[in-house]
């Protein structure tokens, strides 16, 4: 990740989070999801709590009450059914953002389900997601939690001997469209966020796969 943001990076059992200590929401959340993890049987936790590993201010669930926004997961609880601790930690407030209800329960959820399907078909996928916050952002709650303008998710997978990647960007508002309308190349998402997502790959592979913005090509 190349952009210098105020952050505390914490590794939890199921995901790693870069928590923005000014916005009080994550800069990014990253995790690997395997086919075996998708079919886990742990029940949903449903108890939002501050992250005990954060030093200094942390958002609370009270910041969201009466705000008109959902407590939107970045790493979904549905991806953490493989372990009780991972499930519990997915409800830390470092993993949530103020999110439009229609988006959270609609197209964002649909992409979460699609990512699980990709994990099953390909044995594993790598995911990075988070908010895009504009300069003059609104806030909610006593702690002034930033309200994102939009959200991104980038997905990396290995299929048929080659790496593939695809990005998505969703405005933080109501709407219902096919997933492919939100698709963007990882290069485009990097320009919007200032982050460098898959730098661990060799440059020639990273540069090639991050050009793709086609949902159809990613799935092919």
For the chain, the farthest-separated pair of C-alpha atoms sits apart, in whole angstroms, at 50
1 domain residue, yes or no:
no
Task: Measure the CA–CA gap between 154 and 122, rounded to whole angstroms.
Answer: 16
- What pLDDT digit, counting tens, does each position of 41-93 carry? 999 998 999 999 999 999 999 999 999 999 999 999 999 999 999 999 999 99
81 domain residue, yes or no:
yes
CATH code for position 70:
3.40.570.10
pLDDT at 128: 98
- What pLDDT digit, counting tens, does each position of 145-180 carry? 999 999 999 999 998 889 999 999 999 999 999 999
State yes or no: pLDDT of 120 exceeds 90.
yes
- Mention every residue, 6+ apart, whose C-beta is less than 8 A from residue 203: none
Active site residue 73: yes
Look up the domain containing 104 and give its range. 8-219
State the average pLDDT for the chain.
95
pLDDT at 67: 97
189 domain residue, yes or no:
yes
203 domain residue, yes or no:
yes
Give the count of beta carbons closer than 10 Å to the beta carbon of residue 51: 19
Look up the pTM and report it.
0.95
Contact at 8 Å (CB) between 61 and 48? yes
Q: Which of 12, 73, 116, 164 is catalytic?
A: 73
3 domain residue, yes or no:
no
Q: Report the number of distinct structural domains present in the chain.
A: 1
């Amino acid at each position: 990740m190349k952009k210098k943001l105020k952050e505390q990076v914490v590794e939890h059992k199921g995901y790693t989070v870069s928590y923005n200590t000014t916005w009080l929401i994550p800069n990014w959340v990253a995790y690997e999801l395997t086919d075996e993890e998708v079919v886990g049987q742990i029940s949903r936790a449903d108890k939002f709590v501050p992250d005990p590993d954060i030093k200094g201010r942390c958002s609370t669930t009270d910041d969201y009450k009466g705000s008109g926004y959902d407590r939107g997961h970045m790493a979904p609880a549905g991806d953490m059914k493989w372990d009780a601790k991972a499930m519990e930690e997915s409800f830390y407030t470092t993993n949530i953002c103020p999110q439009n209800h229609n988006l959270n329960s609609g197209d964002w959820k649909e992409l979460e389900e699609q990512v699980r399907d990709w994990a099953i078909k390909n044995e594993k996928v790598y995911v990075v997601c988070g908010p895009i916050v504009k300069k003059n952002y609104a806030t909610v709650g006593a702690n002034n939690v930033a309200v994102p303008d939009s959200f991104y998710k980038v997905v990396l997978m290995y299929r048929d001997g080659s790496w593939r990647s695809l990005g998505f960007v969703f405005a933080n508002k109501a709407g219902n469209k096919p997933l492919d309308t939100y698709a963007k190349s990882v290069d485009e998402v990097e320009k919007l966020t200032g982050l460098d997502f898959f730098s661990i790959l060799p440059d020639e592979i990273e540069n090639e796969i991050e050009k793709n913005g086609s949902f159809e090509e990613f799935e092919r």
